């Protein structure tokens, strides 16, 4: 575990060598943790920066490099696919933007070392129009509360979002949706050149992402699907915000939607795991919430948890998530208390949309 965190610190420029010699077993553990936490590309950067006598065994280094080469290749395909999707909707007269993923990768020092995922697209069109369009091309597409799957390519997963995210408490969610609407026009015009240097797409700016990604992390926390890559994304978003006035606006928006408590815990994690300087924080760190988040992150397994989720039926998933709300009640009482009722409302909404 110590080696894993030292490699993160190496990658983020906080140290220039390891504190001691590590065994082959230590290196294998660091690699395994990196894979589970979906940050193997970042820890590889740390390993590559080590003096030659401190680097991992050659065989493991080759496997590490091969895995990251696969993600780099996938990221390049995702860049091109993202451009095509946005251009396709523009031809239909629909504005859209790429959430998370490829846009966030441009904030990384080595963009293609970010673990590649899927493509999430926020489409500025009525939900039923989006669903009708998708079902004309992919009749069996799965609809959930805030997005629909768009499986037009076999090797790339795409989700079309009716709105970016949600919260469970109705008043907080209402203010969150107002935030999305208030900023939609700006981010639907915010163009970013992706890592391939050719694909230009619309993506949210870091001010928007500082609010949106916090909601996204909270939903993953409530779903028990949180891993370190999501926090690392947030680290680079916070470092991309350069002025205090923008941080003040972020703090106001986060407070308005009721996520100040979570934000304080996240700031603690940002400092403890990644060494984020206080000048980049928009709220004070909260150690109590932060320690809870740390435990949740370190028991995460991106691959195992996703496979478990995909294998569940909708009722089993509902029961598990309801049970989860009791586990988070101590830290986030309002959102946790509303969670079971809101999940039931979401299920009804999904049922109506799928008919």
Q: Provide the CATH number for the domain around residue 157.
A: 3.30.460
Among residues 136, 171, 203, the one where a domain terminates is 203
Does any domain span residue 222? yes
- Residue 125 has φ and ψ, to the nearest 5°, of -155, 155
Q: What is the pLDDT of residue 345?
A: 86
Q: Are 232 and 200 in contact (CB under 8 A)?
A: no
Per the listing, tokens 């590590």 go with: 22
**Do residues 85 and 178 share a domain?**
yes
Q: Which domain holds residue 292?
A: 205-311
**Do residues 52 and 27 share a domain?**
yes
Q: Are 3 and 26 in contact (CB under 8 A)?
A: yes
Q: Are 41 and 231 in contact (CB under 8 A)?
A: no
Per the listing, tokens 């986060």 go with: 254
Q: pLDDT higher for 351 or 221?
A: 221
Report, as an integer, the average pLDDT of 192-202.
Answer: 93
**Do residues 137 and 198 share a domain?**
yes
**Do residues 220 and 193 share a domain?**
no
Q: Is 72 helix (H, G, I), strand (E, B) or coil?
A: helix
**Do residues 235 and 137 share a domain?**
no
**Do residues 289 and 189 share a domain?**
no
pLDDT tens per residue, range 240-262 = 999 999 999 999 999 999 999 99
**Do residues 86 and 199 share a domain?**
yes
pLDDT tens per residue, range 54-102 = 999 999 999 999 999 988 999 999 999 999 999 999 999 999 999 998 9
Domain count along the chain: 3
Burial of residue 62 (CB within 10 Å: 0-12, 13-18, 19+) is exposed
Does any domain span residue 350? no
**Do residues 17 and 82 share a domain?**
no
């Amino acid at each position: 575990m110590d080696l894993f965190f030292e490699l993160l610190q190496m990658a983020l420029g906080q140290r220039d060598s390891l504190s001691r010699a590590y065994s082959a077993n230590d290196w294998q553990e660091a690699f395994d943790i990196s894979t589970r936490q979906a940050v193997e590309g970042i820890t590889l950067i740390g390993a590559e920066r080590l003096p030659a006598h401190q680097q991992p065994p050659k065989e493991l280094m080759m496997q590490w490099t091969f895995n990251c080469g696969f993600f780099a290749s996938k990221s390049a395909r995702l860049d091109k696919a993202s451009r095509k999707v946005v251009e396709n909707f523009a031809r239909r007269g629909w504005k859209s933007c790429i959430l998370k993923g490829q846009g966030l990768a441009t904030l990384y020092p080595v963009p293609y070392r970010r673990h590649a995922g899927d493509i999430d697209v926020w489409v500025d069109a009525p939900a039923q129009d989006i669903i009708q369009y998708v079902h004309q091309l992919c009749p069996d597409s799965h609809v959930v509360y805030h997005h629909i799957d768009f499986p037009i390519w076999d090797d790339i997963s795409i989700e079309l979002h009716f709105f970016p995210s949600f919260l469970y408490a109705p008043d907080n969610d209402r203010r969150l949706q107002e935030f999305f609407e208030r900023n939609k026009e700006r981010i639907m015009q915010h163009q970013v050149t992706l890592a391939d240097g050719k694909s230009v797409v619309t993506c949210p700016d870091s001010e928007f992402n500082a609010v949106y990604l916090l909601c996204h992390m909270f939903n993953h926390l409530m779903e028990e699907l949180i891993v370190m890559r999501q926090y690392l994304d947030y680290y680079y978003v916070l470092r991309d915000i350069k002025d205090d006035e923008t941080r003040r606006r972020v703090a106001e928006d986060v407070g308005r939607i009721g996520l100040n408590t979570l934000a304080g815990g996240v700031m603690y994690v940002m400092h403890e795991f990644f060494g984020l300087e206080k000048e980049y924080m928009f709220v004070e760190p909260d150690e109590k919430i932060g320690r809870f988040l740390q435990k949740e992150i370190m028991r995460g397994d991106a691959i195992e948890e996703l496979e478990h989720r995909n294998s569940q039926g909708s009722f089993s998933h509902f029961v598990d998530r309801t049970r989860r709300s009791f586990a988070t009640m101590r830290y986030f009482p309002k959102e946790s208390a509303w969670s079971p009722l809101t999940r039931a409302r979401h299920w009804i909404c999904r049922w109506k949309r799928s008919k």
